[in-house]
Structure 1
Amino acid sequence: MTETRRPNPWNLLAWLYLAVLFLRELVLSAWDVILTTLSPRLAVNPAILAVPLDLRSDAGITLLADLITLTPGTTAIHVSEDRRTLFIHSINAASPEAVVAGIKSGFETAVRRVLP
Structure 2
Amino acid sequence: MRPLLGRARAWCVLAALFARELLFSVRDVVQAVLRPQRVQRSGIVAVPLSLQSEFGVALLANLVTLTPGTTSLHVCPRRRVLYVHALHLGEDTVAQIQRGFERRVKECVE
Normalised TM-score (structure 2): 0.91
In the alignment, residue 71 of structure 1 is paired with which amino acid? T
How far off is 1:32 after superposition? 0.6
- Which residue of structure 1 aligns with residue 95 of structure 2? 101
SS at match of 1:78: strand
- Find 2:60's aligned residue among 64, 69, 72: 64
1:16 maps to 2:8 = no
After superposition, where does 1:49-60 map in structure 2 within 5 Å? 49-60=45-56
8 Å Cα contact 1:48/1:89 also seen in 2: yes
How far off is 1:115 after superposition? 1.0
Name structure 1 gaps, 5 residues minimum: 1-6
Judging by fraction of residues, say which structure has more helix. Answer: 2
8 Å Cα contact 1:51/1:88 also seen in 2: yes
- Which residue of structure 2 aligns with residue 87 of structure 1? 83
How far off is 1:54 after superposition? 0.2
- In the alignment, the residues of structure 2 paired with residue 77 and residue 115 of structure 1 have an alpha-carbon distance, to the nearest angstrom, of 22
How far off is 1:44 after superposition? 3.5
Q: Percent identity?
A: 44
1:110 maps to 2:73 = no
Normalised TM-score (structure 1): 0.86
- In the alignment, the residues of structure 2 paired with residue 106 and residue 79 of structure 1 have an alpha-carbon distance, to the nearest angstrom, of 18
- In the alignment, the residues of structure 1 paired with residue 5 and residue 102 of structure 2 have an alpha-carbon distance, to the nearest angstrom, of 15
- Which residue of structure 2 aligns with residue 35 of structure 1? 31
Deviations 1:47-78 (A, max 9, x none): 01000000010000000000000000000000
* Dislocated runs of 4+, deviation >6 Å: 7-10
How far off is 1:92 after superposition? 1.3
Name structure 2 gaps, 5 residues minimum: none
TM-align CA RMSD? 1.9
Count of aligned residue pairs for this structure pair: 108
